[in-house]
Chain A
Amino acid sequence: MEKTLIAMTSITYAMKAKNLLNGMGMYCEIERTPRNIGTGCGYSIRVKGEPDKALGILDANKIPHKKAYVI
């Protein structure tokens, strides 16, 4: 089953993003970034629904992130 991951720059920003998105009703969880898409030892947030909406919220709240991946 496909899932959308937004790779984050750190565990702190992953936690901040998770709390923000969950608070806005967008369910998400934190998981390790798969080796094939990350730069090593990183965290991603797994989002349900439209990743663009989640990315927009992160950008509006100045939460740095890397790319979104559907894997």
Chain B
Amino acid sequence: MQQIINFDNSATSFPKPRSVAAAVNTAVTRYGGNPGRSGHRLSMEAAAEIYRVRESAAKMFGAQTENLAFTPNCTFALNMAIKGIMQYGGHIIISDHEHNAVSRPVYALSVGRGIEYSIAEVTDDTEETVQNFEQLIRADTKCICVTAASNVTGKILPYKELAALCRRRGICFIGDCAQAAGVMDVTLKDGFNFICTSGHKSLYGPTGTGLLITDGEYALSTIIEGGTGATSSQLAQTPYLPEKLESGTINTVGIIGLGEGLRFVREKTQKRIMAHEQQLCRQFTEGIKGVRDVRIYRGGGEYAPIVAFNLGDRHSESVAAQLSDMGFALRGGLQCAALMHNSLGTLGQGVVRFSPSAFNSRQQVSALISAVQSIA
């Protein structure tokens, strides 16, 4: 069978570090207890491992250990943060670069709960972008929620400036850091009240892992309640983080695997991983820019290591399918980001997305460039 080279790491990174696979195996064979549920050794040993990973992840994002909740993925974390803040109505502002993990919960709240929302335009000019947000702020605006970096083009939004705006205006600031965490040094010090991220992308954990991190300034209403292993005699959900946000048995196996993913990133350093992936993106864009009718979706400003492109008017899914037949995994279509494609004018065609990881090499990118040239 032909080996496939993965350039679809923005969906989920693959391969994972060997240490992650080993940790998952250890978790399945050794840490079989339900953490935080019992006093027997199996439960306590699993709880100690979970705490160790929680501590490590919290340190990476500049959070108190208890202010980091494990979630099944970034979408869950975003739903919990957005719906938890907007529970009692009000107005929320999002950007026109958002993933459906932001736009859909906001839309659902507008339909079901009567909240109102506005969409701010992101331009290449930071000051203009911040102004676009500020002009939309109303007396009842409770929250601004934006992606730190677009999952379609990699465009980095001025999240630090938007955080400062939120501080000035007393508004909660939620960040979708799914594409940023692990390659960009996003932390609560940047001004986020909530950081939502996946654990299985640039943090190299297994699928089924995500993080919801808070600075503790805003208390979240819960959207899921249940067993937490704490204050069990009471009908009301425990008020204490992180258990308040972790009802039901958590993904012990995935979280222990994520712990090794975090270690991998920490040891390689985000800076070096980012530099490596940016170099691959430069190589790729340089390599395909002369291809007939190619369009690369990059403008001014800074970009996370993602390159979106199209070949003429050909549908992105058919280009991605051809590349798949040649042994390369790239994602075509809309990348679950309708708002962003609406902004790009690519709702019909979609884009082909190139997203490398720490494991990709220059040789692999050279091979992909040749493949793109051959099908153009």
Within the assembled complex, what's the spacing in Å between the Cα atoms of A70 and B228?
26
Total A-B Cβ pairs within 8 A: 60
A11 and B243 form a contact (CB under 8 A): yes
Q: Any chain A CB within 8 A of the CB of B73?
A: no
Within the assembled complex, what's the spacing in Å between the Cα atoms of A10 and B229?
7
**A25-62, CB < 8 A from B:** 30-32, 39-43
Within the assembled complex, what's the spacing in Å between the Cα atoms of A13 and B228?
13
Q: Any chain A CB within 8 A of the CB of B276?
A: no
Q: How far is the CB of A9 from chain B (nearest CB, A)?
A: 5
Q: How many B residues touch A, CB cutoff 8 Å?
A: 24
Could you say which residues of chain B place their CB within 8 Å of the CB of A16?
51, 65-66
Could you say which residues of chain A place their CB within 8 Å of the CB of B230?
9-11, 41-42
A40 and B231 form a contact (CB under 8 A): yes
Could you say which residues of chain A place their CB within 8 Å of the CB of B48?
15
A11 and B233 form a contact (CB under 8 A): no
Contact-residue bracket for chain A: 10 to 19
Identify 20 new A-B residue pairs, CB closer than 8 A, beyond the known A12-B66, A12-B241, A31-B39: A9-B231, A10-B36, A10-B66, A10-B229, A11-B36, A11-B230, A12-B51, A12-B54, A12-B243, A15-B48, A15-B51, A30-B44, A32-B38, A39-B234, A40-B231, A40-B233, A41-B230, A42-B231, A43-B39, A64-B240
Q: Identify the B interface with A (CB < 8 A).
A: 35-39, 44, 47-48, 51, 54, 65-66, 228-234, 238, 240-243
